[in-house]
């Protein structure tokens, strides 16, 4: 019995202790100044790529938002890539173009659906801009996002930058409140990793890449996978915390799971790739970033599963301990921040376990499956309130 309890204690310590230690280390690094020389006047020619599939509910808002972004019009082009939409997406785009004057908009229409990364690569071959910006149709940039982000790309060491995600509906439900907690945790890690060297957790809301280091967008994981490939070219990839993009997050738990399962599956595939490169001595990403992230995404879920089994064995052997476990969890649930932290931690590790099982069985998630709830929740009034249109 004492051996089981000892094993349980070790598993519990590793499961909570390692992520906590890494978070505190990166929080400390995030508070450090940038060790970069940047040119505040840097204004390269850039193309904003907007991949879309059945976006008639949001594409007009998206184009209005991009017209509000501050940047010299003669150095900016917007390329919308329609991936064989079956709704009125194209009609909405052309109607907007006919009624507005502003930056140049180029429309690329694919007649056969191929997915986000293929659409981005289709557009990449049709632009000669120095900087390639990607921004999803349901995400919205602050008016100063480009101005805040471009100076960092003036540094020759930097190959790509990403923006900070801000939720438009953080208090909508307990689901969005949980995502806000998780998001703050992840953004701290991303900034700390950027100060150390690079973060490869990129999102589709806003990312900007130097075309010189961008042969193509990664087919398995277009955002983070592309950032990782640039790091492997001996360039840094950073999050710029003052460069914001806004998005709606599902308020429904089922939709949240769908979204996070897809993300977890992609991230695990990427970190398994990193593990293989690390094993063969070919990983450029610093070990003090790669090793903890590999542990968090691959090994910590396994430890979580082992901890569940150990807990069951302890309770079976000593039924009285069940009351102690329940009292402990009840105490945490009574504290708002503790409740959110506990739920998110348990939920995310179950998701990582499920994603791992899909990897082992060879099942692949669709790389571009929209969650309609977040798009349907968008309103003109909400976007105007945030000065996004």
pLDDT of residue 367: 45
Instruction: Please check whether residue 389 is in contact with residue 65, taking contact to mean a CB–CB distance below 8 angstroms.
Output: yes
Beta strands 236-247; 139-141: pairing state: antiparallel
CA distances from 207 to 159, 164, 210, 332, 349 (A): 11, 10, 10, 37, 27
Q: Which of 112, 117, 122, 211 is nearest to 159 (CA)?
A: 211
User: What's the CA gap between 308 and 10, in Å, rounded?
Assistant: 13
User: Parallel, antiparallel, or unpaired for β 158-167 and 207-210?
Assistant: antiparallel
Query: What is the pLDDT confidence band of residue 52, given thresholds at 50, 70 and 90?
Result: very high
Alpha carbons 205 and 68: distance in angstroms, whole number: 16
Q: What does the domain layout of the chain look like in residue ranges?
A: 36-251
Are 186 and 193 contacting, i.e. CB atoms less than 8 angstroms apart? no
Pairing of strands 104-110, 76-83: parallel
Residue 29 contacts residue 196 (beta carbons within 8 Å): yes
Residues 368, 53 contacting (CB under 8 angstroms) = yes
Rounded Cα gap, residues 148 and 305, in angstroms: 43
| pLDDT at position 343 | 87
Average pLDDT value for residue range 348-356: 90
373, pLDDT greater than 70: no
By mean pLDDT, which of 104-113, 195-204, 291-300, 326-335 is the weakest? Answer: 326-335
What's the pLDDT tens digit per position in 210-233?
999 999 999 888 899 999 999 999
The pLDDT score that the predictor gives to residue 372 is: 66
- 185: phi then psi, degrees, rounded to nearest 5: -60, -50
Q: pLDDT at residue 266 above 90?
A: no
Residues 6+ apart with CB under 8 A from 102: 67, 73
Phi-psi category of 302—alpha, beta or left, where left has phi over 0 and alpha has psi -120 to 50? Answer: alpha
For 322-343, write each residue's pLDDT tens digit.
Answer: 777 778 778 887 887 888 888 8
Contact between 319 and 313 (Cβ < 8 Å): no
DSSP secondary-structure letter at 33? P
Q: With 60 as the cut, is the pLDDT of residue 118 above it?
A: yes
pLDDT band of residue 366 (cuts 50, 70, 90) is low
Residue 228: partners with Cβ closer than 8 Å, 6 or more residues away: 200, 218, 221, 237, 270, 273, 274, 285
Q: Could you tell me which residues are beta bridge partners of residue 260?
A: none
CATH architecture of 36-251: Alpha-Beta Complex (3.90)
Phi, psi of 238 (to 5 degrees): -125, 155
Residues 301 and 19 sit within 8 Å (Cβ to Cβ):
no
Given a cut of 90, whether residue 102 has pLDDT beyond it is: no
User: Is residue 368's pLDDT more than 70?
Assistant: no
C-beta separation of 22 from 292 below 8 A: yes
Q: Where is pLDDT greater, at 192 or 257?
A: 192
Q: pLDDT confidence of 157, banded at 50, 70, 90?
A: very high
Q: pLDDT tens for residues 33-46?
A: 998 999 999 999 99
Q: Is 354 exposed, middle or buried (0-12, 13-18, 19+ CB in 10 A)?
A: middle
Residue 13's pLDDT band, with cuts at 50, 70 and 90, is very high
Beta strand extents in 1-130 (DSSP E only): 46-52, 76-83, 104-110
pLDDT for the residue 17: 93
Burial of 35 (0-12, 13-18, 19+ CB in 10 A): exposed
Rounded distance between C-alpha atoms, residue 16 and residue 14, angstroms: 6
At residue 296, does pLDDT exceed 60?
yes
């Amino acid at each position: 019995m004492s051996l089981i309890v000892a094993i349980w204690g070790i598993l519990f310590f590793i499961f909570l202790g390692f992520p906590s230690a890494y978070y505190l280390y990166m929080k400390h690094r995030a508070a450090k100044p940038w060790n970069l020389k940047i040119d505040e006047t840097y204004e390269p020619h850039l193309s904003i790529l907007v991949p879309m599939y059945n976006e008639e509910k949001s594409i007009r808002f998206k184009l209005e938002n991009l017209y509000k972004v501050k940047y010299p019009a003669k150095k900016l082009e917007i390329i919308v890539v329609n991936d064989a939409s079956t709704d009125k997406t194209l009609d909405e785009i052309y109607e907007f173009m006919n009624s507005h004057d502003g930056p140049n908009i180029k429309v690329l229409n694919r007649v056969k659906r191929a997915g986000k990364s293929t659409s981005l690569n289709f557009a990449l071959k049709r632009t000669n801009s120095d900087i390639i910006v990607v921004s999803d149709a349901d995400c919205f940039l602050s008016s100063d996002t480009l101005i805040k982000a471009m100076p960092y790309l003036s540094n020759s060491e930097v190959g790509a930058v990403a923006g900070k995600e801000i939720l438009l509906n953080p208090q909508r439900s307990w689901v969005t409140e949980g995502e806000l907690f998780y998001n703050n945790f992840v953004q701290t890690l991303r900034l700390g990793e950027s100060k150390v060297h690079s973060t490869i957790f990129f999102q589709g809301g806003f990312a900007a890449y130097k075309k010189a280091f961008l042969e193509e967008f990664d087919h398995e994981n277009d955002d983070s996978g592309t950032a990782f490939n640039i790091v492997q070219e001996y360039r840094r990839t950073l999050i710029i915390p003052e460069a914001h993009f806004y998005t709606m997050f599902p308020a429904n738990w089922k939709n949240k799971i769908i979204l996070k399962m897809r993300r977890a599956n992609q991230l695990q595939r990427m970190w398994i790739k990193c593990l293989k490169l690390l094993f063969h001595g070919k990983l450029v990403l610093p070990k003090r970033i790669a090793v903890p992230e590999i542990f968090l995404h691959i090994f910590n879920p396994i430890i979580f599963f082992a901890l569940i089994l150990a807990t069951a064995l302890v309770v079976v052997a000593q039924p009285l301990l069940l009351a102690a476990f329940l009292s402990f969890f009840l105490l945490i649930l009574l504290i708002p921040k503790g409740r959110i932290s506990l739920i998110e931690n348990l939920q995310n590790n179950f998701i990582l376990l499920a994603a791992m099982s899909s990897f082992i069985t060879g099942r692949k998630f669709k790389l571009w499956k929209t969650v309609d709830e977040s798009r349907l929740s968008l309103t003109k009034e909400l976007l105007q309130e945030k000065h996004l249109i």
